[in-house]
Amino acid sequence: MTQAPINEEPRHSHYLLGHEAFRQAAEQDPEFFFHMMGSEQQANAVAQLVERVKSIANDGIDYDLNDFKVQLTQVEQRPTVIIQLPLPQAYIECLYLAVVSQHEFSELQNMEGKEHKISYYTLELMEREDGGSGFAFCTWEGESHFFLAELDADANMLNFVELIKAYIAHQAESANES
């Protein structure tokens, strides 16, 4: 990814999209979120969310909807939606976000009456200690935001997915040790 000059302040709308809007939509109704992102209504759902955020942020930013790329995949047998946002122009703006089901595909068939939980991850532009730019791999639990790692390699979707896989594996190991 070629990095443009870094702005001093993040765009409010971009921050809200990466840190709040998609996360809250997924947390509110995970099944509906996964369904919409996997349907013919995907582009319309993203456009509506962007417009809603634009009206809240009121920062005058118009996004090209073609800059939002949605990838449906799986991470460790868990349904996953990865969204690439317009390129970050300031620290803490997200390049990617991921909504990962906490349930494997096989579990989802027997979820009647059970709560569908998700994990939310971001890959955010950050300022490194040496003054250069890098990317922070973060997760969210409710309204709390946690830094997990700095991405040393190129910021691309494959490397983002590998970070998520490593974190899920670490969580599973930690749970087995308890």
Whether 167 has a pLDDT exceeding 80, the answer reads yes
What is this structure's pTM? 0.90
Give dist(CA 135, CA 133) in Å, integer. 7
Is residue 6 in some structural domain?
no
Q: How much is the pLDDT for 143?
A: 84
Residue 7 is assigned to a structural domain of this protein: no
The answer to whether position 113 is within a domain reads yes
Closest CA to 133 of 19, 35, 1: 1
Q: Give residue 115's pLDDT.
A: 78
* Residue 28 belongs to a domain: yes
Range of the domain at 98: 12-177
pLDDT, residue 4, reads 60
Task: Confirm whether 80 is domain-assigned.
Answer: yes
In a domain, 4, yes or no: no
Number of structural domains in the chain: 1
Per-residue pLDDT band for 139 (boundaries 50, 70, 90) equals very high
Residue 120 maps to a domain: yes
